[in-house]
């Protein structure tokens, strides 16, 4: 639960995500879907080092880590329940400092 995350960890992750994270909407062509597309909200953080992403995954208790073709590691949360129960409450508690990321989060 987000309320159990120590402040020093929460603010570190929020600061890290402020610089390296993003909130997106993914569109994937799916013939088995009524509208032909799978539309998924996604939060991710990209980084050269896997270890910090593994620690963030451990603290947030959700998400997956994968290696991208461009040689970068990515922590990603696209499960709607995890987004609603972990990610959104986390960033409501540990808010961004930059105006750009605050706006991106509000739109998400």
- Check pLDDT > 90 for residue 56: yes
Query: 34 pLDDT exceeds 80?
Result: no
| 100 CB-near residues (< 8 Å, 6+ apart) | none
Strands 73-77 and 37-47: antiparallel
Alpha-carbon distance of 75 to 6, in angstroms, equals 20
pTM for the predicted model, two decimal places: 0.87
The reported pLDDT for the residue numbered 18 is: 96
What integer best gives the mean pLDDT of the chain?
Answer: 93
Beta carbons of 77 and 83 less than 8 angstroms apart: yes
Using 50, 70 and 90 to split pLDDT, how confident is the model at 7?
A: very high
Domain ranges of the chain: 2-107
CATH match for 2-107 among 3.40.50.1100, 3.40.50.720, 3.10.28.10, 3.40.50.300: 3.10.28.10
- Enumerate the β-bridge partners of residue 28: 38
pLDDT in tens, 68-87: 999 999 999 999 999 999 99
**Angle, vertex CA 100, rays to CA 29 and CA 93, nearest 5:** 90
Q: Report the candidate in 16, 18, 44 with the shortest Cα–Cα distance to residue 100.
A: 18
How much is the CA Rg of the chain, to the nearest whole Å?
14
């Amino acid at each position: 639960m987000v309320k159990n995350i120590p402040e020093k960890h929460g603010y570190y992750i929020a600061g890290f995500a402020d610089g390296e994270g993003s909130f997106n909407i993914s569109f994937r062509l799916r013939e088995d879907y009524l509208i032909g597309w799978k539309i998924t909200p996604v939060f991710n953080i990209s980084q050269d080092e896997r270890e910090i992403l593994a620690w963030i995954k451990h603290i947030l208790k959700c998400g997956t880590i994968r290696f991208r073709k461009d040689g970068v590691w990515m922590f990603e949360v696209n499960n709607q329940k995890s987004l609603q129960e972990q990610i959104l409450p986390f960033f409501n508690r540990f808010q961004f400092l930059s105006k750009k990321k605050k706006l991106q989060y509000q739109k998400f």
